[in-house]
Amino acid sequence: MNLFAAAGGGNWSFILIIIVMGVVMYFSMIRPQKKQQQKRQEMFSQMKKGDRIVTIGGLHGVIDSVDTAAKTVVIDSDGIYLTFNISAIRDVQANTAVPTGTTSAPAATAETKNAAPASTATETKTTTDTTDTNTTEDKKSE
């Protein structure tokens, strides 16, 4: 006698559907989450002093020290030293070849100041200020 015939064919199809749903759930939800978690752990393990970071609260700063035993990181944010849990770090940008004490933003500003259009605008403003001052002095002397 056939056991499958007694149990009915509908039960096996239901079990097969449950198995297929489990496999789809694994490949669509669980596996990508594990990959993301592994990538995040790798990011935390590669953090070092001088790297620029952004916390989950949006605070930007530079890593001053990392304590892997206590799972904390000390961040220098414009001279203010703050201690955070490593899990509060959202993004880490590896330290580039920028010299200590300078950032790329002031360098771009210095180049802009040396450009011809910027200096012309400065000269025009200076001329306007001088004219206003002369007009005020002329009124005082009258």
- Looking at the structure of the chain, the number of domains it has is 3
Judge if 36 and 54 occupy the same domain.
no
Query: Tens digit of pLDDT per residue, the chain (142 long)?
Result: 454 555 556 788 999 999 999 999 988 988 899 999 999 888 888 888 999 999 999 999 999 999 989 989 999 988 899 999 998 999 898 776 555 554 444 444 444 444 444 444 444 444 444 445 454 455 455 4
DSSP state of 49: T
Specify whether the CB–CB gap between 59 and 77 falls below 8 A.
yes
Expressed as residue numbers, the domain containing 71 is: 46-96
Is residue 70 assigned to a domain?
A: yes
Judge if 115 and 75 occupy the same domain.
no
Is residue 79 assigned to a domain?
A: yes
Judge if 36 and 56 occupy the same domain.
no
The model scores a pTM over 0.85: no
Judge if 5 and 39 occupy the same domain.
yes
Q: Which long-range contacts (CB under 8 A, 24 or more apart) does 85-88 make?
A: 86/44, 86/47, 88/55, 88/56, 88/57
Is residue 142 assigned to a domain?
A: no
Q: How far apart are CA 106 and CA 114, in angstroms?
A: 13
